[in-house]
Amino acid sequence: MPFDLPVQFFQQIPDSILLEKRKTLFSKYNINTVCSSARCPNLSRCLKDNTATFLILGDICTRKCLFCAVDKGAPDELDDNEALNIALAIESMGLAYAVITSVTRDDLLDYGCSQFIKVLRSIRSLGKDTKIELLIPDFSGSFDALHKIVYEKPDCLAHNLEMVKRLYPELRRDSSFYDRSLAVLRSIKALDPAMPVKSGIMLGLGEKKDEVIKVLRDLKSVDCDIITLGQYLSPSKRHFPVKRFLDREEFIEYRNIALDLGFKAVLSGPLVRSSYKAEETYRRLKGFK
Ligand code: SF4
């Protein structure tokens, strides 16, 4: 079955068949996706919408965030064919919009920046006008790495704050820092004011309402355009537990607060993840049909 078919086609096919097709394709190209690595609850929807978020730089992270389902430890060698394989998979799937993200690679000299660029260029070399959203790590605060990424002009550049500032030391174990991540977002707009910038946080980790509003204000202060807010779900009993399930009204309230603050697009709801409706949101922002 070819993958370059309209989205309506995929709506009619059972999830199990789509999942099997996708597994076969991704295994052929040795590809990791966040969809499976982070055990995303929206897998079914993404299969139907024919979207996926590609995870590059391997599937093992050098950091040890307590909320994250990605495996941690010593990463494998970089895959020299990764950029080409992702481009070929995107071509096979007929994707108009691709989200590329990665594990954090503090072990690499450039923190994985050059691999992001290789993947982006490889997709663009197909000449299909696939829009590319890069969801980047903090590159350990390297301005040089960030500058190189912005210079490549991805169609949207995202970096997640993930949570309120107070919870960073406990959940990110002093390897990621709120202020550094905020500085990444600030620098993107400083380097390219026209770049659509996106960030996201999870809720239900023990944060208070005024802390969430502070994050929204901080993101607005660095000119972030798009914000996602979703319910945290604990990947397993070994991970940080959910402190609270927010009700829908609370998500609506945060959405309204964010819109009042002036964000151009706000996605807020229990199942929202950073790549949720990424293409639709981007197209709305840019005024595309
Ligand atoms: S740095 Fe990112 S990928 Fe790595 S453990 Fe933390 S949240 Fe997961």
- Contact residues for 3 (Cβ-Cβ < 8 A; gap 6+): 21, 25, 50, 92, 93, 94
Give the span between the Cα atoms of 26 and 22, in whole angstroms: 6
Measured from the Cα of 72, ligand 1's closest atom is: 5
How many angstroms is it from 17 CA to the middle of ligand 1? Answer: 30
Give the pLDDT confidence score for residue 207 in this predicted structure: 98
This prediction has a pTM of 0.91
How many angstroms is it from 139 CA to the middle of ligand 1? Answer: 12
Give the pLDDT confidence score for residue 103 in this predicted structure: 95
The answer, yes or no, to whether residue 37 has pLDDT greater than 60, is: no
Answer whether residue 108 is part of any domain: yes
Give the span between the Cα atoms of 198 and 81, in whole angstroms: 28
Answer whether residue 61 is part of any domain: yes
The answer, yes or no, to whether residue 44 has pLDDT greater than 80, is: no
Is residue 77 exposed (0-12), middle (13-18) or buried (19+ Cβ within 10 Å)? exposed
Q: Which of 71-80, 153-162, 221-230, 245-254 has the lowest mean pLDDT?
A: 71-80
**Residues of the binding site for [4Fe-4S] cluster:** 35, 40, 46, 61, 65, 68, 275
Query: For residue 288, what pLDDT band results from cuts at 50, 70 and 90?
Result: low
Measured from the Cα of 172, ligand 1's closest atom is: 6
Per-residue burial over 243-278, b = 16 or more CB atoms within 10 Å of its CB, e = otherwise = eeebeeebbeebbebbeeeebebbbbbbebbbbbbb
Answer whether residue 1 is part of any domain: no
Give the pLDDT confidence score for residue 39 in this predicted structure: 61
Answer whether residue 276 is part of any domain: yes
The answer, yes or no, to whether residue 10 has pLDDT greater than 60, is: no
Number of H helices, E strands in the chain: 12, 10
In contact, 139 and 145? CB cutoff 8 Å: yes
Q: pLDDT digits over 64-73, tens only? A: 999 998 999 9
Query: For residue 2, what pLDDT band results from cuts at 50, 70 and 90?
Result: very low
Q: Is 70 a pocket residue for ligand 1 (Cβ < 6 Å)?
A: yes
CA 242 to chain centre: 21
Measured from the Cα of 68, ligand 1's closest atom is: 8
The answer, yes or no, to whether residue 50 has pLDDT greater than 80, is: no
In contact, 233 and 193? CB cutoff 8 Å: no
Query: Which of residues 4 and 26 earns the better pLDDT score?
Result: 26
Angle of the 82-93 helix axis to the 113-124 helix axis, nearest 10: 40
How many domains does one find in the chain? 1
How many angstroms is it from 116 CA to the middle of ligand 1? Answer: 16
Q: Is 63 a pocket residue for ligand 1 (Cβ < 6 Å)?
A: yes
Is residue 162 exposed (0-12), middle (13-18) or buried (19+ Cβ within 10 Å)? buried
- Contact residues for 126 (Cβ-Cβ < 8 A; gap 6+): 87, 90, 91
Angle of the 209-221 helix axis to the 248-261 helix axis, nearest 10: 30
Q: Is 68 a pocket residue for ligand 1 (Cβ < 6 Å)?
A: yes
Portion of the chain with pLDDT greater than 90, in percent: 71
Residue 182: Cβ within 10 Å count = 21
How many angstroms is it from 160 CA to the middle of ligand 1? Answer: 11
**Residues of the binding site:** 35, 40, 46, 61, 65, 68, 275
Give the pLDDT confidence score for residue 98 in this predicted structure: 93
Answer whether residue 246 is part of any domain: yes
In contact, 36 and 59? CB cutoff 8 Å: no
Measured from the Cα of 103, ligand 1's closest atom is: 3
Answer whether residue 13 is part of any domain: yes
Give the span between the Cα atoms of 55 and 100, in whole angstroms: 6
Answer whether residue 2 is part of any domain: no
Q: Which domain holds residue 35?
A: 7-286
Q: Is 65 a pocket residue for ligand 1 (Cβ < 6 Å)?
A: yes
The answer, yes or no, to whether residue 200 has pLDDT greater than 80, is: yes
The answer, yes or no, to whether residue 5 has pLDDT greater than 70, is: no
Residue with token string 């295994």: 27
How many angstroms is it from 288 CA to the middle of ligand 1? Answer: 33
How many angstroms is it from 192 CA to the middle of ligand 1? Answer: 26
The answer, yes or no, to whether residue 261 has pLDDT greater than 90, is: yes
Closest by CA to 219, choosing from 147, 153, 165, 270, is: 165
Give the pLDDT confidence score for residue 1 in this predicted structure: 39
The answer, yes or no, to whether residue 125 has pLDDT greater than 80, is: yes
Q: Is 160 a pocket residue for ligand 1 (Cβ < 6 Å)?
A: no
The overall average pLDDT reported for the chain is 90
The answer, yes or no, to whether residue 171 has pLDDT greater than 90, is: yes
CATH number at residue 157: 3.20.20.70
